[in-house]
Each structure stands twice: as C-alpha cells, then as structure tokens.
Amino acid sequence: MKIVILGLSITSSWGNGHATTFRALCRELHRRGHQITFVEKDVEWYRSNRDLPEPPYVRLWLYQDWQHDGIGTVRDAIRDAEAIVVGSYFPDAIAATALLQQEAKAPVLFYDIDTPITIAALRLHGQCEYLRAEDVPFYAAYLSFTGGPTLAEIEGRFGSPLPVPFYCSVDPEAYHRTPVQRDFACALSYLGTYAADRQPKLMELLNAPAAALPHDRFLVAGPMYPAGIPWSANVITHPHLPPSDHPALYSSSRWVLNLTRADMVAAGYSPSVRLFEASACGAPILSDAWPGMEEFFTPGKEILIASTAQEVVSTLRDMPEGEASRIGEAARERTLAKHTSAKRAEEFEQVMHRVLAHSH
C-alpha cells in the first residue's frame, strides 16, 4: 500500500513527541511492505535540531510555505496514494484538509497524537489550529491516542464515521535495558518538556522528595523549563536529551516518574508514550493517577500510583530493590505484548481493511 503522511515532524524530536511516534510506526509499516511518503514543513526550529535528517524507511518531502510550495508538494505526494494520513499539529492541516476534500482519491484518515487537547478545543471553539469540527466527518477514520468515552464523543458529537483507539507505542529495538550510565544514575528521574499544568505535580512528586532525601540524586530532562525554578540542590537538570539517550536514562534510574497533562487526565484513557518507553526498558514507574490507567497497567503490580511527596519518599526509601525490579519487569512484559510499534502497524492495516470495506 502507498501511504502518505502529513505530520508535524519525523526528522526532529526536539521539543515534541511526534517524531519518535512517526519513526516507529513508519518503520514497521515499511517492514510490512508498505511505501511511505512523509510530508513535513521545513521550519527553522526543527531544521536546526534534526536528529534523523534522512529517515531510511520513508520518502521524505519537505516544503517551506503552504502557498509557495506546500500545495504542489501535497498534490504530487497524493497522486497515486492508497491511504492518506493527516496528523495533529501538522502546521497547515486545515488548508491541507480543504485541498484533500477536493483532490484526494484515496481514503483520508486523521491521526490525533494529541486527542485530549484537540477535543477540548473543539468543544470550546469548534476548531483548533489543525482541525475544524466540521471537517471531522470527512476523515474516513479518526485514529485517537485516547480511548474510553472520548471515542463515543468523537463519533456522536463530532460525526466521525470510524473513531478507533490508536494509542502511542514503543519501538523495542530503540527502547530496551542498557547498562547504567553514571551521568544518568539517580533515585528518580523525569523526562518531559516543560508544561505549566504539570509543573506543580513535578515540584510535589520529584522536587519535594529530593529535598527530603538530600543524599540521593534526582534528574529532570527536557526543554523549555524557565529560569528561576527553585530546584532542590540535588536535582540535576538536562535541557534536552535526544531519543538515543532515553533508554540509558530509564535504565539508570531506580524509579521513573510519569506525569500527565491536565487535558489527558480529564479525558482519561490517554497513556503517555513515556510510559511505554520507560517500561520497555524495565524501569519501575511512579505515576500520577488518571481514569483508565488499569487498561494499560495494573496499579500495585505493574506500576505504582503516587499523589503526595511522602508517598514518593516512602517508595524510594523503603521498597526493596527486588520488588521494584519485579514491578518494572511486569510492566515491560505487558508493554511488549500490547504496545509496540509493530502492534500498531498491524492495527493500522486492520483499520484500513475496515475503511476500504466500507467504501466499497
């Protein structure tokens, strides 16, 4: 099958989680015999931070301005496509959708890597920067990073003919246990871009425990954290870690902290890709709570839930290493069975079978 994807980025993972998601899915689809063309807007902040400038499993098409060369690029890319996918946060998604409504001969799917943010905006404003509510019925399927009740809303309120759960996934070839690295060795780590709605939880569940355990080392990695945050003296910060360093970070952390954006908590059933990446490395995970967690990991057996600094401190101080390792290994087994990029590639094929059967 010839598949065209219009996505935020596959060449640069700087400040976004889309690139690793697209890389893993596209590689697995390519392995299964599909031909992938990836269309990406050539913006400066990704151009200056490309960690995969030439993905070997896609035909990469870059454009700089929608009116100048974007329209022509997309027209050429979709000419003989058998499936077209528009991703959330694709910079010219609304204009591209209008073009596809006129010219696409293949089914067009919407791939929402940011479903809780998208749906919250559609409820309030009828659109966001990459999707209008009135365009949802045009998409032959809505691939959603969020499951649960949100799928019924996408169908009933916004008119999607086929909303399906299409959760984030992990590439087990990239994310696996590695030897401990001294630079990343710590009692607890957190990996994520700065977000104002997550920061209070990060201060409660990492910074406060760090202050309570001054002889342990804590680590925060991610871009865009403003200056002046009152980190405890034993919190080490890294402004950016490329994906190639993520497995070493997870493997070198006694525990990994997962924190969830407010919109994702409100929607529920929205696992972060960091959950699957950390668990694929066998790291035991401490997480905030959100509805639907048990659909992915069993609390107490495959993941621990924490809501206060004292709960984190107690886990770090009192839990035997053997028990922590058993929790990490149980999560790893579940992730590798249910949430790999190869599994998502199979699910994509199944969705396309449904779409094509319906169109016929």
Token digits for 202?
Answer: 């990060």
* Under 8 Å between Cβ of 17 and 170: no
Does any domain span residue 177? no
Mean pLDDT of 305-322: 97
pTM, full prediction = 0.87
Q: Which residues contact 6 (CB under 8 A, 6 or more apart)?
A: 39, 74, 84, 85, 86, 87, 90, 93, 96
pLDDT band at 360 (very low <50, low <70, confident <90, very high): low
pLDDT more than 70, % of the chain: 100
Which of 89-98, 158-167, 351-360 shows the lowest per-residue confidence on average (mean pLDDT)? 351-360
Token digits for 15?
Answer: 């400040």
Number of domains in the chain: 2
Same domain, 112 and 247: no
Same domain, 330 and 348: no
Does any domain span residue 286? yes
* Under 8 Å between Cβ of 140 and 162: yes
Same domain, 191 and 269: yes
* Under 8 Å between Cβ of 14 and 49: yes
For β-strands 127-128 and 253-258, DSSP reports them as unpaired
Same domain, 345 and 256: no
Does any domain span residue 234? yes
Does any domain span residue 175? no
User: Using one digit for the tens of pLDDT, what is the confidence trace for 127-165?
Assistant: 999 999 999 999 999 999 999 999 999 999 999 999 999
- Helix residue ranges per DSSP H, the chain: 18-31, 44-47, 71-77, 93-103, 115-125, 149-156, 199-202, 208-212, 246-252, 262-267, 273-280, 309-318, 321-338, 341-359
Does residue 104 register a pLDDT over 80? Answer: yes
Does any domain span residue 174? no
Mean pLDDT of 315-341: 97
Chain position carrying tokens 């639907």:
292
Half-sphere exposure of 103 (CA within 13 A, CB side): 16
Same domain, 113 and 98: yes
User: Using one digit for the tens of pLDDT, what is the confidence trace for 33-68?
Assistant: 999 999 999 999 899 989 999 999 999 999 999 999
Token digits for 24?
Answer: 């893993």
Does any domain span residue 11? yes
* Under 8 Å between Cβ of 214 and 233: yes
Same domain, 290 and 346: no
pLDDT band at 7 (very low <50, low <70, confident <90, very high): very high
Distance in angstroms (rounded) separating the CA atoms of residues 113 and 282: 24
Same domain, 348 and 266: no
Distance in angstroms (rounded) separating the CA atoms of residues 8 and 156: 28
Does any domain span residue 140? yes
Same domain, 158 and 226: no
Which of 194-198, 238-242, 351-355 shows the lowest per-residue confidence on average (mean pLDDT)? 238-242
Same domain, 156 and 23: yes
Q: Which residues contact 257 (CB under 8 A, 6 or more apart)?
A: 188, 189, 190, 202, 205, 206, 285, 286, 287, 312
Same domain, 315 and 346: no
pLDDT of residue 102: 97
Same domain, 25 and 118: yes
Same domain, 7 and 99: yes
pLDDT of residue 15: 77
Host H or E run for residue 286: strand 285-287
pLDDT of residue 240: 82
Domain that holds residue 276: 182-338
Does any domain span residue 353? yes
- What's 330's domain CATH number? 3.40.50.2000
